[in-house]
Structure 1
Amino acid sequence: MRIKAQHYAIVAVDVEKFGTRDNPTAFLLRKQLYSLVETALDDAGIDRSAAPDPADRGDGFFQLLPGDVDKLDLTGPFVALLHNALRDHAATSNAPGALRIRVVLHSGDVGWDGRGWVGEELNTACRLLDIEPLRTTLAQAGRAGLALAVTEDWYRRVVCHGTAEVEREAFREVPFDAKEIRGASAWIRVPGYDVPPGIPPMRRAERPEPTGPAPASPAAPGGAAGAPGGKAGTSGGLTVGDVGQFVHGDQYVKGGLTIRMPRRGEGGQ
């Protein structure tokens, strides 16, 4: 039987250093995690009445919400309320009982096969929970109760429009490479920080580029291959009208280029 998928918003959470806790502490943290996330969703005005039950992952869980949920409410008020609740928890807990979490927001088609939830987008959300930049920034963000990561698609649809609720300027882009995912990007934010600690600005050369061979440019009359409209200059140089774009280190150069060719007797043997 074909599995019928539906579009959901995906909220995935994972407890930092969960495997280091003894069993009684782990039981308590799991109970507190569910309670804090569900309360934050309710207080943010997000209706869970039509949502499936959360799906447990041992050291965390994911919650599927109907696809028409307000994603601004999830990205802004929900994250803020959850962060505040985690900070309140930290004020009364010792180190073994610390509850700090990684949070991921994504959306896409997910189906129920009678035993569990299945879908590429769900895999993506769970992969994103475990990327090293998200772990690193939470470890270095001592004042924070959580670190948030959103997929490139979520960032483009929700965050980049710059509404006050989501604090677009506080997000930083990071590479998203995990198992079958290669060359993607994600965006990370830590509440209470202007920029996520431990994440340097992503250089342009590190960002994913379209793959596939670049079209070859034919040689122009009187010029060189790959140099449309090239012509010999009167000073012994070659003027290239438009070389497109090339990279040198971190520098990108685009536009016209003049190459000076040495005359006989200049710099020769």
Structure 2
Amino acid sequence: MTETDGMATGLAYRAIMAVDIERSAGRGNTAFFAAREALDAALRGAFSEAGIAWGAGHHHDLGDGLRVTLPADTPKARLLHPLVPELAARLRAHNRTAAEEARVRVRIAMHAGDVRLGPAGAAGGWPFEILARLLDAAPARAALAQAPSSVVAAVLVSRHFHDETVPHGYPGIDRERFQRVAFTAKEYAGEAWLHLAGHPTAPPWAGAGATGVPAPAPAPEPERPASPASPASEMPQVGGVSHMHNTASGHATLFASQNGGQHIHQHGNGA
């Protein structure tokens, strides 16, 4: 059976990614269209530099972004490098000369799994639902909002995608620049790995008082909020473990312990 036959009758394993422009709402048509054109051009250029045929994938317009189902022969690691750095470089070049309202920063989600591919570029399946939750997850929104303007892309990859790409020493992929986070988006709860393209080795949430503590393998300690009299910068000691309660942008509340525990509750979606 050919691959075309398989696409018509069943499922096919594919890498999938989605890109969304940060704070796209309220720009007005002229600035929004300029931002979308810049993103589309940057994506096409990055795909070309990564050796991935743009026309061979399936594309779905998300309005303020794009979802791409990659060709069957695409190595997943190539999406992290060189595609992400190439995309970030092109967006930074655009932002240097663009009006403020037309500048582009993006969240990128990556996953892989068995999807159904139909005629005329249609694609569907459970992996796309996970991809949508990754794209909308609070950790990536908060990290990008806190990062300096030179950081133009927050990448959140599923555990499956991470395990097949990041730890293996592939060229250009530094495992130390990926941090595990737990998140809940709508009915989906899970863990993923967060990377800020172009950010220094030390992540912005490292250290006490940060709002994005890496998620641990064991279950976190129960949350015990500080008393009203405690200063916001202090973390009360409970059973030898320090706890903190932070509210991050992106309508997410984070509860974390000094030993690395984290819980994220998302209360709503922003643009």
Query: Shared fold (TM-score greater than 0.5)?
Result: yes
Are 1:146 and 2:153 an aligned pair?
A: yes
Q: Is there any run of 5+ residues in structure 2 with no aligned partner, and where?
A: 1-7, 206-211, 221-238, 242-256, 260-271
How many correspondences in the alignment? 210
Are 1:137 and 2:143 an aligned pair?
A: yes
1:165 — aligned with what?
A: 172
2:213 — aligned with what?
A: 200
> Which amino acid in structure 1 is aligned with residue 96 of structure 2?
A
2:92 — aligned with what?
A: 87
Contact 1:102/1:146 (8 A) holds in 2: yes
**RMSD across aligned positions (CA):** 2.4
How far apart are the structure 2 equivalents of 1:152 and 1:68?
A: 21
Q: 1:124 to 1:91 in 2, by over 3 A?
A: same
Deviation at 1:175, TM superposition (A): 0.5
TM-score normalised per structure 2: 0.71
Deviation at 1:113, TM superposition (A): 5.5
How far apart are the structure 2 equivalents of 1:176 and 1:58?
A: 24
Higher relative contact order (CA closer than 8 Å, sequence separation 6+): 2
Contact 2:50/2:83 (8 A) holds in 1: yes
> Which amino acid in structure 2 is aligned with residue 148 of structure 1?
V
How far apart are the structure 2 equivalents of 1:123 and 1:196?
A: 28
How far apart are the structure 2 equivalents of 1:91 and 1:185?
A: 34
Deviation at 1:40, TM superposition (A): 0.3
Deviation by residue 1:106-143 (Cα, 9 ceiling, x = unmatched): 11122245684211101111110111110011111112
How far apart are the structure 2 equivalents of 1:152 and 1:4?
A: 24
- Counterparts of 1:1-269 in structure 2, within 5 Å, are 4-52=10-58, 54-112=59-117, 116-142=122-148, 143-182=150-189, 184-193=190-199, 194-198=201-205, 199-206=212-219
How far apart are the structure 2 equivalents of 1:49 and 1:61?
A: 14
How far apart are the structure 2 equivalents of 1:107 and 1:119?
A: 11
> Which amino acid in structure 1 is aligned with residue 125 of structure 2?
G
